[in-house]
């Protein structure tokens, strides 16, 4: 999923609009700098940055004596209040990036599960400096039933 994000130029450029040439030439440079495969709260910084954080939770439900996994994928798009405005777009930075993430993943089957379905899209104030957009997608692993121990049947 991270590769899909960094290989979408409009998202990569919106994350770090200060250095668009570097980002477009070396999109991998964003991983663990601005894009994280885990939840992270920004520390005190000298520049106003934008981040995409990713978390995957797995819930199990039982249907007709078989247990299936429900994958809940959550993207957090965080932006410092000083970097919220996008002069060249008619949206805030978190709204613009959030919309692009929805276009990239909603309804897609590319991860081997049922199609990703957008469950919620919420704007939240993290603290006095950061706003974030929380995008929650769900998909079911209906083709591969799993037991409660996590092993396939």
Of 10-14, 23-27, 39-43, 125-129, the least confident:
23-27
Confidence of residue 62 (pLDDT cuts 50, 70, 90): low
- Candidates 87, 98, 96; CA nearest to 122 is 98
Q: What is the pLDDT of residues 106-132, one digit of tens each?
A: 998 766 567 889 999 999 988 888 899
Q: What domains sit in the chain, N to C, each tagged with a CATH number?
A: 37-141 (3.30.2000.10)
Give the pLDDT score at 76.
Answer: 96
Roughly how many angstroms between the first and final C-alpha of the chain, as a whole number?
27
How do residues 25-40 score in pLDDT, each as one tens digit? Answer: 777 888 888 899 988 7
Residues 6+ apart with CB under 8 A from 81: 48, 128, 129, 130, 131
CB atoms within 10 A of CB 4: 14
Does this model's pTM top 0.75?
yes
């Amino acid at each position: 999923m991270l590769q899909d994000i960094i290989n979408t130029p409009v998202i990569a450029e919106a994350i770090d609009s200060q250095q668009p040439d570097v980002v477009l030439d070396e999109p991998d440079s964003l991983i663990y700098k601005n894009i994280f495969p885990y939840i992270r709260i920004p520390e005190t910084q000298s520049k106003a940055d934008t981040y995409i954080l990713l978390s995957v939770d797995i819930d199990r439900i039982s249907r007709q004596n078989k247990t299936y996994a429900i994958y809940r994928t959550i993207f957090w798009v965080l932006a410092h209040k000083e970097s919220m405005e996008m002069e060249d777009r008619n949206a805030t930075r978190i709204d613009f990036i959030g919309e692009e993430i929805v276009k990239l993943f909603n309804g897609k089957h590319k991860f081997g599960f049922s199609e990703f379905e957008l469950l919620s899209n919420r704007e939240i104030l993290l603290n006095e400096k950061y706003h974030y957009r929380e995008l929650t997608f769900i998909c079911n692993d209906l083709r591969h039933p799993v037991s409660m121990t996590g092993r396939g049947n």
